[in-house]
Amino acid sequence: MYIGAVESHSFITHLECSRCGARFEHTRVQSVCTKCGGTLFARYDLEAVKTRVGRESLKGRPPTMWRYREVLPVLHDENIVSLGEGYTPLYPLRRLGERLGVSLLVKDDGLMPTGSFKARGQTTAISKAKELSVRRVALASAGNAGGAMATYAAKAGLEAYVFMPRDAPSAAKLECHVMGAHVYLVDGLINHAAGIVQRLRERYGWFDLSTLKEPYRVEGKKTMGYEIAEQGGWRLPDVIVYPTGGGTGLVGMWKAFGELEELGWIGSERPRMVAVQSEGCAPVVEAFRKGAEAVEEFPDAHTVAGGIRVPKPYAGEQILRVLRESGGTAVSVSDTEILGCVREFAGEGLFVCPEGAATLAGLKRLLDDGWVEKSEEVLLYNTGTGLKYLDVLGEPMLPTVSRDADTLPTH
C-alpha cells in the first residue's frame, strides 16, 4: 500500500462507529462518533493483509507489538513512538496450576515499559496523535495510563496534561511529573477527573486521550490478543481472566480475535472472557448479573486495585457484549483476597500489581463455583508490576510493631 511516495505498512481504511456504523476518516483527528457518541473502531483491509502477510512471516520480526504493523493505525514508520513495548512473556504457572488443578498460564505485562500494559495503548495513541499533528494531549487516569501517556508524550515532544485521583499510587504521580507532564490531582475518582478533561479540553486546546474516547488506544491494547494467539502457537486458551476497569483490554482482545479469524490465522474458537472486579467497585459484575445492556454507576467506589476503580466505564455496553458473546462471565473479589493473591504469585517469582492479583482471586471463585473446570486451560492477564504500588501495598501488607513490643504480630 502506498500513501503518496512513501510506503506504508498500515492497512487501515477508515474508522467505524461501534454503535451506529457511521464511517469516519482516519486521516483526521477523531474522537467519538459525532452522530451517537459511540466509540470509533479502526477498520483495515484485512483481505489485502491476508494476501501480503502470512502468520509465518511474523517469525523474523522484532519482538515488540509493532510486529503487527499492518493491523495498527500508524501510516508512516517515522511517526512510531516506541520504547520496545510488547511481546511480553506468556508461560505456564506450573506450581500454582497444579495446586488449583488447572492448566494455568500467565501473560506478564509487568515487564512493559512504564511497568504496565497501558504502554500498549499509549504507544499507539501518541504515535497516531503525532502523525495527525496533535500538539497537546490530556487524559483522566487511575495512574498507569497517565504515566504511560506522559512517557510517550515526552518522547514524541507533545505537551501532556494528566488528571488523576489524589490517592493514586505515588509512583504514577511522580512518573508523570518526571516525564514533564502537567499533573493535577483530583479530589475524587477517575470519572470526576474525566469530567474535568471533558469540560476544559476545548478551552485549553487538548486532544482527549481518555479510555475509548479516542480510537487508537484500543488498537494498541488489541495486540494483547494477537500476542496470546501467536505465543500460544495460534491456539487460544479456554478462558482468559482479565482485571476490568475501563474495559479497553477486554474489548481490544475481542477485536483482535475477530481480525485474526478474518485473516485466517485462527479459526472460530474463542476463549470465554472473564471480567474480574473488586467488591468495592463492581459495576460490570452487577450489570452482567442483572442481564442489563448498560452499566450503571457504582456508588462509593473503593479498592486497593486502583486501575479497576472505574465506577462507570464509558464502554460499558461493549464490555457486556464481549462477556456475553464469548460465553464468559464477571466476578468480584474482596481486597483481602486480592492482597492474599499478590503473595501467592510470589511463589512463581512474580510481584504482580493488585489488579493482576485479582485475576487469581477471580479464578479461585470460578473454580469453587464449578464455572471453570479442572481440565481447562486458563490464562491470567497480569496487567502491571507490583513495584508501581509500593505505597498502596505496603500499608495493608506490612504489620507495624510498637517500639516496646515483646511479642510479634503474625505475618
Ligand X SMILES: Cc1ncc(COP(=O)(O)O)c(C=O)c1O
Task: Tell me, rounded to whole angstroms, the distance of Cα 245 from its chain centroid.
Answer: 8
244 touching ligand X, by CB under 6 A: yes
Q: Which amino acid is at 59?
A: K
Q: How many residues would you count in the chain? A: 411
What CA–CA distance (Å, rounded) separates 78 from 330? 41
146 touching ligand X, by CB under 6 A: no
What torsion, rounded to 10 degrees, do the Cα atoms 107, 111, 116, 119 define? -100
248 touching ligand X, by CB under 6 A: yes
Q: Which range in 137-145, 155-163, 197-205, 329-337 contacts ligand X by CB under 6 A?
A: 137-145
Say which entry of ligand X, Zn ion, none residue 33 contacts (CB below 5 to 8 A, set by partner kind): Zn ion
What CA–CA distance (Å, rounded) separates 353 from 365? 19
Nearest C-alpha neighbor of 281 from the set 244, 310, 246: 310
Question: CA angle, 146 as apex, 321 and 356 as ends, to 5°?
Answer: 55
Pairing state of beta strands 23-24 and 12-17?
antiparallel
211 touching ligand X, by CB under 6 A: yes
Q: What does the per-residue mask of binding to Zn ion show for 13-32, with x meaning CB under 5 A? A: ----x-xx-x----------
Which positions from 303 through 342 interact with ligand X, judged by CB under 6 A? 307-308
Helix (H) / strand (E) element for 392: namely: helix 390-397
Q: Residue count at the site for ligand X (CB under 6 A)?
A: 19
Is residue 320 helix, strand or coil?
Answer: helix
What CA–CA distance (Å, rounded) separates 143 from 164? 6
Q: Which of 12, 15, 33, 333 binds Zn ion (CB under 5 A)?
A: 33
385 touching ligand X, by CB under 6 A: no
Q: Do 192 and 15 contact (CB within 8 A), yes or no?
A: no
383 touching ligand X, by CB under 6 A: yes
Q: Which of 42, 80, 145, 363 binds ligand X (CB under 6 A)?
A: 145
Nearer to ligand X, 316 or 384 (CB): 384
Q: How far is the CB of 59 from ligand X (least distance, A)?
A: 29
Q: Which range in 54-62, 67-75, 240-248, 366-374 contacts ligand X by CB under 6 A?
A: 240-248
Question: DSSP string covering 161-183, please?
Answer: EEEEETTS-HHHHHHHHHTT-EE
Nearer to ligand X, 73 or 110 (CB): 110
Q: Which residue is nearest to ligand X (CB)?
A: 307
Q: What does the per-residue mask of binding to ligand X show for 91-120, with x meaning CB under 6 A? A: -------------------------x-x--
Q: Give the interface with ligand X as residue ranges (CB under 6 A).
A: 116, 118, 142, 144-145, 211, 243-249, 307-308, 353, 355, 383-384
